[in-house]
Amino acid sequence: MLISGFSLDCERLPAPLPIWRATVRAETWAVVARGVSAQAGRLVALWASDRTRGASGGFAVSAAYALREGLLWLDLPLAERAPTYPDLVPIFPGAGRMQRAAADLLGVRAEGFADRRPWLDHGTWPEQYLPLRRDGAEKAAAALREATDYAFVRVEGDGVHEIPVGPIHAGIIEPGHFRFSVVGEKVLRLEQRLGYKHKGIEQRFTELPPREAYRLAGRVSGDSTVAYAWAYCMALESVASCELGERAGLLRALLLERERVANHLGDLGALGNDAAFAFGLAQFSRLREDWLRLSKEAFGHRLMMDCIVPGGVAADIDSTSVDRLLRQCDAVEREVRALRQIYDEHSGLQDRFMTTGRVLPELAARLGLTGLAGRASGQAADLRCDLPWAPYDQLAVKIATQRTGDVAARVAVRFDEVFESLRLMRVILSRLGEDGGKSGGETRTELRLPAKTAFAAGWVEGWRGEVFVGLEWDGEQGANRIRRCHCHDPSWQNWPLLEHAVIGNIVPDFPLINKSFNLSYAGHDL
Amino acid sequence: MSWLGVFSQLLEIVMALLLAPLLSGWINQWRAWLQNKSAPSVLQPYRMLHKLFNKESVLAEHASPLFRGAPYIVFGCMALASAIIPTLSTDLPLSPAADAIALVGLFAFARVFISLAAMDVGTSFGTLGARREMLIGFLAEPALLMVLFSASLISKSTSLTTIVETLAHRDLTIYPSLAFAGVAFIIVSLAENARVPVDNPATHLELTMIHEALILEYSGRHLALLEWGASLKLFAYSCIGLALFLPWGIAEAQAPLALLLAMPVLILKLAIGGALLAVLETVSAKMRIFRVPEFLATAFLLAVIGMLVHILVRG
C-alpha cells in the first residue's frame, strides 16, 4: 500500500470492508501517521495490548487510520522493559486522550507527550495496577487508594472564575465532570474529566467465550448496541472467514437504521427541550416510544440488544412484521416532516440553534471531528457511502452534510439522516418482503474459529459515527480465546471538540451544545 | 376603616395564600395538556408544600442567619404584596400604607434578600443564579414602574386602590396608553416570574436555570416558603394585571354585597389568564440570556410610549 509516497507492506484482512494490517518499526510509526494526515486520512483509534505470551511477545501499540481506500491497522511492537512509542499528538491532536488511556491501562507511554496526567484512573486504582497487563488480575486485589486531585488547566485573569459541574448532574444522565472557566456568562475554557464509568469492559472480553462476547459488545454503549454488536460480529466473522448471508445482512442494516432513527428522534426532542420548547420533546418522545415498542414486538427488544449474533441475526422477521415496519416508516416520515417545519419556522428555537456551539470545517478537519458532528462541520465521511459494505453497496446511501457546524447544522443533519434512513428501510423491507418473506436464504451461519492467531477488525457507521472493534484472536494450542478486544467509540474524537465548540459561548447554552453532540460516556470510559 | 374593610382585607390575604398554589397547579396542568401529556392533579402544589413542610431543612455548614432568614422575608414580602393589591375589594385598610411605588419596592426587597442568600453559601450555582436574577431585575423593575405610572396618569394617583376605582368606573372607552402598558406588563411578568421565554420553571438543568439556581441550596420548610412565595408572586402579578387592565368586578367600599360576586369573577379571570400563560409558554422557546435585556427594554419602551400617548391624546 502506498501512503503519500511511502510504501507499506500490508496484509488484507478478510472483512466486508477493505481493512489492511501492517506491522511497523518505531521509525516508521510517525512517518506513516504524517502520510495519512497528508492525504486527509483520519485517526480512527489508538490502543495498546499485551502480547507477552503470544507469538510476537512484548507489548504493542496499534493505530487504526481511515484512508480513502479503507482502514489501515498499524501495529508497533514495543520493548518489554521500557514500552514507549513516538507521540502522535502533533500529527493527530485527537490521539492525546487515547495515549493517556493506553498509559493507564497498560503502562505504555508516548515519548515526548507532555500530558502525563492519568485519564481513566482517577488515582484510586491500586499501586502499580495496570488492568490489561497479563499480571493485572493479581494486582487488582490490592487496596484502592484515595482519589487524587486532577490538575485542571487554570485560566488566570480579572474576574475569571470556575464553575465545576458534575460528575453527578441535575438530570438523570451519565456521569462526567465539566470544569468551566468563565468571565460573567462567557465561557473562556471548558475542560472535561471523564472515566467515571470505567468498568473494565476490555478486560472482561478476554474472559468470555468468543461466541458469547457479542452480548458484552452490545453493552458498551446502550444507545449504539446494534452498531457495536455488528462491529464485534464483523470482526469475529472475519476471524472465522465466514460469509454473511444476504438476508442476514439486510436484517442487520435494518436494525442499524432503526437504531439511528430512534436516537435521532430522541435527540431532536431533547434539543427542543433544552431550549424550553417542551412541545418538541413531547412529540418526538411519542414518536420514539412508538418506534421502540414496535422494535420490541418485531425483534424482541426495545433497543434491539442481542439481535445481531455472530454469523447472522438472532431471529428473522415475518411478512406481517415487514408490513407493520413499512407502515411505521410512512407514518413517522409524515410526522417528522411536519415537526421539521415547526422547528425550522420557530424563530425562538432557531435563534437558540443558529451560531451556537460552532465548530468550523477547518477546525473540525484539523482536530479530527468525526461522525454526525463531523458531517455537520463539513467533514463528509460516512462509511455507508464511502466504503459501502453489504448490503449498503446496493442501497446508494446519500450523505447528509452541513458546513456551518453549529447546533442548527447538527439538527439539520439529524433530520436529513432520519429521512434517508427511512428511505433505506423501505428499500430493505421491500426486499425482505419478497417471496413472502423467504428470499435471501439463511439468517444465521455457524462460525468455525481457526486454531491460529488472527487479527480482525469490525468497522460500522453507527448513529454517532464510526464504531471500531479491533480483535486479536488466540486459537493456538486449543486456547480459543479473545486475547484483546478493543472497542472504540467516536466519542473519543469528539469530546475534545466539544471543549472547542463552547469557547466564546455563554454558560446557559452549554446544555444545548452538549446535547447537539450527544456523546457517549460509557462508550468512552469502557 | 370599616369592619367590612377589615373583613375584606383578611379575606384577601387568606384567599391569596390559599389560591396561589392552585393557580400554579392550574398552569402546570394546562402546560401538560398542551403537550399531549396527562397532567398532574391541580392540587399537586399543595401536596408539594405539605411534603416540604414535613421534611427536615438541611443547611450548609457555613450558612449565615441571612440564609435562614431570607425565605421568611421573601414569603412575607409576597404575602404583603398580595394584601395591598386590590383583588377583591378597593376598601382595604392596608392600602394607604403602600402605593404602586412601594409595591415595586417590596418585590425589589425580596429580590435583594434571595440573591444575597443565594450567594451566602458560596456555591457557584447560587452565585450564577444571583447574577442572572439581578440582570433581569434591574431591567424589569423600571419597566414595571413605568407600567404603573401609565395607569396612574389616568387616575392621577399612585395609590393602587384609587387607580383601580378610577379605571373600573370608566365607560368602555379605549385608553391607547393602557394597551401599550398592558403588553409591557405581560413581558415584565414573564421575566419576573421566571416563565418561558426568560426562564424555565420546569427545569433543573443546572447551567441554564435562574430562579431554581437561587433556591438550589434550600430544603424542607425553607424551600416550601420559597415555593409558596413564588406562587404568591405569580398570583400577585396576575392580580395587578387584572386590577389594572380588567378591573371590572372588584368590589368597592360603597357596595359590600359586591364582595360575593368579586370572588367568582376573580377566579374566572385567573383561570383564563393561567391557561393563556400556559399557551404562551408552550409555543415559545427560551431565549438566550443576553436577549433578555432586549426583551425587557422592549417592555420599558412600550410603557414609555404608553405614557407619551396618554399625554398626546389628552393634549
Of the ranges A4-18, A216-230, B282-296, which one carries the lowest mean pLDDT score? Answer: A4-18
Contact across the interface for B124 and A162, Cβ inside 8 Å: yes
Residue-by-residue pLDDT tens, chain B, 315 positions: 578 888 888 988 999 999 999 999 999 999 999 988 899 999 999 999 999 999 999 998 888 999 999 999 999 999 999 988 888 888 788 877 778 899 999 999 999 999 999 999 888 888 888 989 999 998 999 999 999 998 888 888 888 888 888 887 766 667 788 889 999 999 999 999 988 888 887 766 778 888 888 888 899 999 999 999 999 999 999 999 988 888 877 766 566 677 778 888 889 999 999 999 999 998 888 888 888 999 999 999 999 999 999 888 876
Distance between CA atoms of residues B14 and A519, nearest Å: 51
Mean pLDDT, residues A24-32 taken together: 89
Among the partner-chain residues B31, B207, B284, the one whose CB lies closest to the CB of A348 is: B284
pLDDT score of A342 more than 60? yes
Structure confidence at residue A412 as a pLDDT band (50, 70, 90): very high
Give Cβ neighbours of residue A289 (< 8 Å, ≥ 6 apart). Answer: none
Distance between CA atoms of residues B246 and B253, nearest Å: 19
Q: Is A313 exposed, middle or buried (0-12, 13-18, 19+ CB in 10 A)?
A: buried
The rounded mean pLDDT for chain A is 89
pLDDT score of A280 more than 80? yes
What is the model's pLDDT at position B255?
67
How distant is the Cα of A175 from the closest Cα of chain B, in angstroms? 14
Distance between CA atoms of residues A286 and A272, nearest Å: 14
Q: How many CB pairs under 8 A join A and B?
A: 78
Nearest CA in chain A to B34: A279
What is the model's pLDDT at position A55?
56
Structure confidence by residue, pLDDT tens digits, A40-87 = 889 999 999 988 765 556 888 999 999 988 999 999 988 877 788 899
Residue in the structure block whose three cell numbers are 433530520: A415
What residues of chain B lie within 8 A of the CB of A165, using their CB? 206-207
Structure confidence by residue, pLDDT tens digits, A90-115 = 999 999 999 999 999 988 998 888 88
Distance between CA atoms of residues B191 and B126, nearest Å: 19
Residue in the structure block whose three cell numbers are 493506553: A102
pLDDT score of A261 more than 90? yes
Backbone angles phi, psi at B28, to 5 degrees: -60, -40
How distant is the Cα of A509 from the closest Cα of chain B, in angstroms? 7
Distance between CA atoms of residues B98 and B85, nearest Å: 9
What residues of chain B lie within 8 A of the CB of A184, using their CB? 131
Distance between CA atoms of residues A39 and A101, nearest Å: 27
What is the model's pLDDT at position B14?
92
Mutate to test the interface with A, among B131, B198, B207 (most CBs of A within 10 A): B207
Residues of A with CB under 8 A from a CB of B: 161-165, 169-171, 184-185, 272, 274-279, 281-283, 286, 346, 348-349, 351-352, 506-511
Nearest CA in chain B to A512: B208
Distance between CA atoms of residues A211 and A216, nearest Å: 11
Give Cβ neighbours of residue A417 (< 8 Å, ≥ 6 apart). Answer: A260, A264, A372, A400, A463
Structure confidence by residue, pLDDT tens digits, A132-146 = 888 777 777 778 888
The answer to whether B207 and A508 have CB atoms below 8 angstroms apart is yes
Nearest CA in chain B to A183: B128
Mutate to test the interface with A, among B31, B134, B135, B288 (most CBs of A within 10 A): B288
Global pTM?
A: 0.89
Distance between CA atoms of residues A174 and A197, nearest Å: 8
What residues of chain A lie within 8 A of the CB of B38, using their CB? none
What is the model's pLDDT at position A363?
92
- Note which residues in 24-53 of chain B have CB less than 8 A from chain A: 31, 34-37
The answer to whether A110 and A87 have CB atoms below 8 angstroms apart is yes
Distance of CA A296 to the CA centre of its chain: 24
What residues of chain B lie within 8 A of the CB of A282, using their CB? 35-37
What is the model's pLDDT at position B247?
80
Q: In the structure grid, which three cell numbers stand for residue B164, read together? A: 383601580
Tally helices (H) and strands (E) across chain A. Answer: 17, 17
Mutate to test the interface with B, among A285, A345, A352, A355 (most CBs of B within 10 A): A352
Give Cβ neighbours of residue A133 (< 8 Å, ≥ 6 apart). Answer: A50, A106, A107
What residues of chain B lie within 8 A of the CB of A281, using their CB? 35
What is the model's pLDDT at position A452?
86
What is the model's pLDDT at position B46?
96
Backbone φ/ψ region at A249: left (φ over 0), alpha (ψ -120 to 50), beta: alpha
The residue type at B100: A
Mutate to test the interface with B, among A178, A356, A507, A515 (most CBs of B within 10 A): A507
